[in-house]
Structure formats: C-alpha cells, structure tokens
Structure 1
Amino acid sequence: MPLQIRDPHGASRAVAYLMLAAGVYNFVTGVLMKLGAPIFELIALGVASAAFSLTGVACLRRPGKLPRAFWLSVPFLSSGVVTGLNLATQDTSTGAQLFYLWPLLYAASYLSRVMIGATVATISAGHALVAFTFMDVGAALNDWIAITVAMAMTALVVAGLVERNDRLRDVLEVQAGSDSLTGLANRRTFDEWLGTTATAAAHGGAPLALVMIDVDHFKNINDTWGHATGDRALRTVADALRAAAPGEDHLVARLGGDEFAVLLRAGPQEAIGYAEQARAVVMATDGLPGGPPQLSIGVAVLPGHATTGEELQRVADAALYQAKAGGRGRSVLAGATPAGTASYP
C-alpha cells in the first residue's frame, strides 16, 4: 500500500532521536560557533534548532497525538529543511549533502516503494536547486547526477534489505506458532486464539466450540509399528481435522503428543457434526499398517457450557475423558451421556 507505515513505533523513535540530535547540532554549529554571523542568520538557525527539539520531544513522548500524515510527510519535510539550510548557508559541500541520507533511510526503512521513490525525487530536486544556484552549470550537473544516482542506489539496497528482513520475520513468526510435524498451530497459538475468541463469544459474538481430540492407544501404535508410523498417524489425523473444518474462521492445533484441539465458530450440534465428519475422514484413509487410528473427542461450547476460555477448555477436557471412559472411539458433547459415535441428545 502506498501510504503504509512499517513499524510505527520504530518510525516515531527514529524521528524523535534525529530531531533531538539535529536541534543540538544545529544550535552548536549554526549559532554558538558562528556568533559573528549576521543576526538574521543566527535567529533563523536558533528558531530551527528549537523547532527540531520540540518536534523530537513530541515524537518521543506523545507519538500517538501526531496525525498519520505527519509520519508520511517526514522525509519530504526533512529534505526541505536540509535544502533550506544548504541554501541559507550556501553550502554545496559533500558534508552538507550527506544530511539527505536521513530522510532517505527513514523512507527506505518505514515507508512503501512509492514513497521511497518520491523521497529520492524530492532530494534530487532539492540538491539541484542548491547546486545550480551556487555552482557553475557543468560542475552542478555532474554533482546533481552523482548525488541522485547515489541516493537511488542506496534506497534500493536499504529497501531490499528491509523487505528481506520482513519476509524472514514472517517466516519465523509462522514457525514459532506452528507444529513442525503436522503444520498445525501449536499450543502457543491455540492459547492466544482461545483467549481472543472466548472473550468475543462471551460478549455476544458468535458461539465458540472447542473440540478436544485424543488418538486412542497411540502408545501402542508407536510400540508396535515404530515412531515413523506413529508420525504418519498423527499427520493423518491433522489432515482430517483440517479437511473437515468448515469455512476459514477456525483454528486446528496440535497441543502436544497425540492431543489435538479445534476452535470453531459453531453451536453444539454443528460442532458434534464436525467431530463425526473428522472421524469419518480418518477412518476412510488407508496405508497405515495397523489401519486408521480411532479418536476420542470431547466437545464444549461457549456460551452454554462455559463463560470463559479457561472454563471452556476444562469442560471440553471433561467431555473428552467421558468419551474415553465410555469405551473410546466416540464423541461426547459436554453434559451428555456417551452413547457411541452417532447418538447425541
């Protein structure tokens, strides 16, 4: 998106520290070290120093009070300030031009490619104004082309590095929230979802069903056929839980070992229907030496069986233990008597 701001917190800190440093630097080098300069120049630099410092304090202490447009305009405002100071001091030196690096790096680090291109164009135009004002045409042209190319190349390199870093971070976030064997969400992600969705359901949102699943006699599968077959059985169950889940507003997770959990936006009967559909998908698979694994399933719904996420998990666990106690290989809805896989109140 052209107007996207990447990492607003980092952007606000970057602007704050720069403005505070610029305020001090400008006051020392532009005022204290040039006390014999024309009074108008000293006043202008003093006012600029104060403005930098106040802006830095605002960005550091109250970044949320500043409008979104401010953060988008920062590279253009700062490029304009650098150009204005270079014009006021008639400074065409390399040191003066290096100050353009800050708005460039800010845009490349926190803004979109469109805004980065616009920043490079602004810097190029600002430097052209200074160079062609105080240098002869030939030297100004060479200097302007060199600065424009250097800024454009720097922007490309930095933006590429930032985008690569973003992609790597996204991959790490996915890996941190996923189970490596099955590709399902892990317990960390499940806990986050349960907290968020349970709160929404408790405050009048769509009902939330929690389906807890255990693979029956999973230790026997490992002991009889080996861990590789046990892993295949777990992946079979994971694939079935994914395939049976309706729509996209759900979470399928492996909590650890042979324990799975599914969060659904569904009422009691729909959740039980999902549990039986998942069991049917598992039973229809072949290729495992001991045949498809059986599942014990407990189902609870908020509101109805619980009022909080913690309570929902506790009630669903109780229903799961009820299914195991009733002979395994069946689904039990919280509060119901286990009666096989197809009979529910």
Structure 2
Amino acid sequence: MRFQLRDEPGAARSVAYLMLAAAPLVFVTGIVLPDEHPLGWVVAIALVCLVMAGGGAMSYWRPARLPRLWWLVAPFATTIMIAGLNFASRDAAAGSQFFYLWPILYAANFLSNRNAGLTLALVSAGQAAVGFTVLSPGHALADWISITVAFTLTAIVVASSLRNRHDRLREVLEAQALVDPLTGVANRRSFDGSLARASHGGGPLALLTVDIDHFKSINDTWGHGAGDRALQAVAEALRTVAKRTDDVVARLGGDEFALLLRTDRDGARHAADEVRAALEAAAELPSGPPGLSIGIAVLPDHAGTAEELRAASDDALYRAKDGGRGRTAMAVTPPGRHSTGQPAEVSAAG
C-alpha cells in the first residue's frame, strides 16, 4: 500500500520517545553549550524545543487526538527539522548526522517500502545540502556517499529482516487468537465475525448448532483425556462436511460446536446426517462415538439477521434435546416469514 502504516500504537510511542528526548537535547546543544547566544537563534531554538516537547507529550498521552496522517509524515518532518538545524548551525560533523537514524529506522519499521525509500532520499538530500555548504567538495562528497550507503544498508536490514520477522510473528499470533487450541477449528470470536459477514452475502445460509449429548458423563467415566478426544472427533466430523472455502466450523465453548454452510434446508439436513455418519466411523474413541443434538436454522427461511439466525438455531437445538437428544431439529418459521422448505420438525438420528 502506498501510504501503509503498520502498528500505529508502536509508531506513536516511537514519535513520543524521540520528541521527548530530543527537546532537552536540542535545548542544551543549541542554547546552553554555544558560546554565543544571538537573540534570533535563541528564540528559534526555544520554539523548536517547545514544539517537540508538545508533540511528544501529545503522541504519548493523547495519540488519538492527532490525525493519522501525522504518523505518516513524521519521518519527513523530522528529517527536514534535522537538516534545518544542522544547516543553521553549520554543523556537518558525524555526530549531527547520526540524528538521521531515527527517521530511517522509523520509516523502515512502520511505513511501506516506498515511504521508507522516500525518507532515505530526503535524508540523503538533507545531508548533502549541509555537507556541500559547510565542507570542501571532496570532503562533502566522501561524507555524503558513506552516510547514504550506511543508512541505506540500515534501512534494508530493518525492512527485509526485522520487519518481516515481526510480521510473521504477528500473523501467527493473530491466527492463534482465532483458533480453538484443542480442536484446531475456529473459536467463538472468529465464528462471530464469519457469521456477520456471511449473513450479508447472497443465497441461503444454514447454521447448525451441535451439542455433544451427556458430555459430562464421558469425562466422569472415561477421564478428561477421553473427553478431549471426543471433542476432537466431533470437530473432525464437522470438517468433513465443510467442503467449501466459505464453510465454517467452530467450537463455541465447552461441548458446543457450530457449522455454517451456504446451503438450503435440505442441504443442511443432509449435512447433519453426514456429520453423524462421519462420527460413527470414529471407532478409536474409548467412550464410543458420542451422541449429538443438532439444531438447524436457515436464512432467510427462519431469520433475517445473523443474531436471529443464531437464536433460531439455538432454539432448534433446545427442542432437539427436549425431544430425547441424539436428534436433529429444524427451526420454526416465524409468523409472516416465507419458508421455502418443510415445516419445523424434530427427527431422531439414524
């Protein structure tokens, strides 16, 4: 992305630390240490220090009040400020050039490669403007080449190695945050987002809410290890039915699962039968294949929104349990809503 900003909180902290640290440093080096103190210079340095201190305080304590564009232009503004101070003080020493490291590191870490390249070009131009004004041409050229090469290598290392490693770690953590660690299927947080997105798509959408019958007795009789294996077997049986890329299998918590399919009532009923058949084939379970109660609701037959679909499927699940467990129940069509299938029913497995 052209104006990509990565990790806005981290960018805000980086800007805050720079400005809060730079303000007193500029005050000391610009006003306290010099032997001469022209009034105009003192006023200019004092204003720069106040702006940096204020910007640092806002970035640290009130970052939300600053426009998002600020985090994108911060390295460019900082580069211009460093070059301006160096030019005004006619300071081309190596120490003054090291201040350019901050915008280089910031852009390489938080901005896109294009913006990092633009920052590097601006730093190189700023250093050249000061060096060729203050130093002899030969000395200025040598300094300009060496500093530009050093900063370029620094930016490449940060952008290609450290940033990519950080991105991979963040992707892993984000994926783990959306997956149930025991079964490997989506967790409730991930499922809620998938349901909200799918409910706005076209075509019928079926939600199967699945509960393991008498799961507590499995844990009490065979141990929690057997209970975990039963949960994994149910998740695997649901996966065999979720064949499309937009189908979703999720563990909502405890022994409750959900299966989201882009299908109609007949397809959902057939999917429930397939889940039971797949689970019956899991002969390695010490407790034997567990029974399932399944509630089915279909959008738009039984609901018009994601929340209504969830409520209708939960209601159907409760009716399946009340009917004797080990059953599949279809949701009741609300009054006034057109149904494209058969009336609500509860059927035994098999």
* Structure 1 pair 275–87 and aligned structure 2 pair: CA distance change class (3 A): farther
Residue aligning to 2:328: 331
TM-score by length of 1: 0.76
In the alignment, structure 2 segments of 5+ residues that lack a partner are: 333-343
Q: Which residue identity does 2:267 align to in structure 1?
A: G
Q: Distance in 2 between matches of 1:293 and 1:140?
A: 79
Structure 1 vs Structure 2 CA RMSD:
4.0
- Cα offset, 1:207, TM superposition: 9.7
1:103–1:119: 8 Å Cα contact kept in structure 2?
Answer: yes
- Cα offset, 1:197, TM superposition: 3.5
Q: Which residue identity does 1:184 align to in structure 2?
A: V
- Cα offset, 1:9, TM superposition: 2.3
- Cα offset, 1:26, TM superposition: 1.6
Residue aligning to 2:277: 283
Residue aligning to 1:259: 256
Residue aligning to 2:337: none
- Cα offset, 1:127, TM superposition: 1.0
* Structure 1 pair 182–88 and aligned structure 2 pair: CA distance change class (3 A): same
Map 1:39-188; keep pairs closer than 5 Å.
39-159=39-159, 160-180=161-181, 182-188=183-189
1:212–1:317: 8 Å Cα contact kept in structure 2?
Answer: yes
Structure 1 SS opposite 2:329: strand
Q: Distance in 2 between matches of 1:257 and 1:62?
A: 41
1:209–1:263: 8 Å Cα contact kept in structure 2?
Answer: yes
Deviation string 1:161-193 (CA, Å, 9 cap, x unpaired) is 122112112112212321345431124544x54
- Cα offset, 1:276, TM superposition: 2.6
- Cα offset, 1:330, TM superposition: 3.5
Count of equivalent residues = 327
Q: Distance in 2 between matches of 1:105 and 1:92?
A: 21
Structure 1 SS opposite 2:70: helix
Q: Distance in 2 between matches of 1:284 and 1:56?
A: 60
Q: Which residue identity does 1:283 align to in structure 2?
A: A
1:300–1:333: 8 Å Cα contact kept in structure 2?
Answer: yes
In the alignment, structure 1 segments of 5+ residues that lack a partner are: none
2:30–2:45: 8 Å Cα contact kept in structure 1?
Answer: yes
1:197–1:208: 8 Å Cα contact kept in structure 2?
Answer: no
Q: Which residue identity does 1:197 align to in structure 2?
A: A
Residue aligning to 1:19: 19
- Cα offset, 1:261, TM superposition: 1.2
Structure 2 SS opposite 1:184: coil
Structure 2 SS opposite 1:34: coil
Q: Which moved more, 1:208-217 or 1:6-15?
A: 208-217
1:241–1:252: 8 Å Cα contact kept in structure 2?
Answer: no
Q: Distance in 1 between matches of 2:83 and 2:229?
A: 69
Residue aligning to 1:197: 196
Deviation string 1:39-93 (CA, Å, 9 cap, x unpaired) is 3322221222222223334434554444443322211111111111111111122
Structure 2 SS opposite 1:31: helix
- Cα offset, 1:154, TM superposition: 1.3
Q: Which moved more, 1:177-186 or 1:207-216?
A: 207-216
- Cα offset, 1:301, TM superposition: 6.8
Structure 1 SS opposite 2:242: helix
1:3–1:112: 8 Å Cα contact kept in structure 2?
Answer: yes
2:231–2:255: 8 Å Cα contact kept in structure 1?
Answer: no
- Cα offset, 1:317, TM superposition: 4.4
* Structure 1 pair 264–78 and aligned structure 2 pair: CA distance change class (3 A): same
Deviation string 1:115-168 (CA, Å, 9 cap, x unpaired) is 111111111111122222222233222222221121112112222212211211
Q: Which residue identity does 2:211 align to in structure 1?
A: D
| 1:296 lines up with 2:315 in the alignment | no
Structure 1 SS opposite 2:165: helix
How much identity, in percent, do the aligned residues show? 46
Q: Which moved more, 1:129-138 or 1:289-298?
A: 289-298
Picking from 206, 209, 233, the partner of 1:212 is 209
Picking from 273, 291, 301, the partner of 2:267 is 273
